[in-house]
Amino acid sequence: MALRVGIAGLGFGINHLHSCLTRDDCVVVAVADGAADRRAPAEALGIAGFDRAEDMVETAGLDALIIATPPHTRAGTIDAAKAKGVPLFLEKPIAGTPAAAEAVVAQLDGHRAMMGFSFRFHAPVQTLLARIKGADLGAPQLGFGSYMFNWLPPSGNWLWDRETGGGFFNENSCHLIDIVEAVMGRIERVYAEPFYGGDRPGPTGASVTFAIEGGASAAVTIGGHGVSGQSRFPLLDVTFEHARARLIGADHKWTGLELAVGQGDVMSFHADPETLGRTRYSAALDHFFGSVRDGRPFEATPEDGVRAVRVADAIYRSIDAGAPAAVLDTKETGR
């Protein structure tokens, strides 16, 4: 039987609505957004519309809920879902600061929730992670990558606020931060040199060096440049003890993997996540809905969301200080 799904927030959440409408394992029965014009496309399809997400959760009989509202507005929705026992898909970022991120985890208190790091579930990344678990690649040693987004949100967008959105590196660059940690290990220290462009209220790009547990390191460029014609991102190239891997992207998606192990095991494949009616979010929703149905643990957790916020916070602290910054827990940062 198809899961009854609700979507809270139809700004970014419209992407999840489109993704769900092509699926046969779920049916979107309700949406919530304070703006009537945002609800209108869903309501035109016969989907129930609500002004408040809490009212939707209370009355719509949901099996699962996708929360795509700005992170600083979610507390009431999370409490309502907990009261009804509704599993959650939380769009990134989990919060704007490490302290706020920890507060969300405390609020969830073990309630079933998946972090919306959707691009971790693209086939090239999943294939590489499976090989890493097989242990034949050896330890990661060096990496380089880039996630220079081809669009900059307007200055008034909530994500630029360091407290509520955590800045562009927290809201957008968290995708690459998550993949670096999934592939190479926990980032312990960063050094960042910023770039300011596009008349925005904070840095719009940065070159960042990551010091990673176990002695590995990586250098990445992150941010946005606002050049819509440039779409060959993201990228992550990693040298392992016995292998070399390159994750290749296009237009915000991971679309390919090149992997060489030892002297003879070479593989290369292309797998665009947007084929046959699927979207760049479909693979993550495969995992989310399958795990909800089967009771399996989620592979992307709220704790992973906290990690990304901590790393982004360290990047900003490095920029502010003009020096390396450790990735600290909430008690050490005070934020």
Query: What local confidence, expressed as pLDDT, does residue 152 receive?
Result: 87
Measured CA distances, 92 to 68, 78, 256 (Å): 8, 14, 23
From the number of C-beta atoms within 10 Å of its C-beta (0-12, 13-18, 19+), residue 281 rates as buried
Q: Which residue has the tokens 């009212």?
A: 55
Mean pLDDT of the chain: 95
* The CATH number of domain 119-293+306-330 is 3.40.190.80: no
Q: Which CATH superfamily is domain 3-86 in?
A: NAD(P)-binding Rossmann-like Domain (3.40.50.720)
Which ranges in the chain are annotated with CATH 3.40.50.720?
Answer: 3-86
Is pLDDT at 237 greater than 70 in this prediction? Answer: yes
β 113-116/88-91 pair status:
parallel
Tens digit of pLDDT for each residue in 158-212?
A: 889 888 889 999 999 999 999 999 999 999 999 999 999 878 999 999 999 999 9
Instruction: Using alpha carbons, select from 55, 47, 61 the residue that is nearest to residue 16.
Output: 47
Is pLDDT at 72 greater than 60 in this prediction? Answer: yes
Instruction: Using alpha carbons, select from 243, 247, 254, 180 the residue that is nearest to residue 217.
Output: 180
Return the top range by mean pLDDT from 145-154, 256-265, 269-278, 287-296.
287-296
- Backbone φ/ψ region at 69: left (φ over 0), alpha (ψ -120 to 50), beta: beta
Residues of the chain with pLDDT > 90: what percent? 85
Which ranges in the chain are annotated with CATH 3.30.360.10?
Answer: 119-293+306-330
Query: What local confidence, expressed as pLDDT, does residue 130 receive?
Result: 96
Stretch 59-73: mean pLDDT, rounded?
Answer: 98
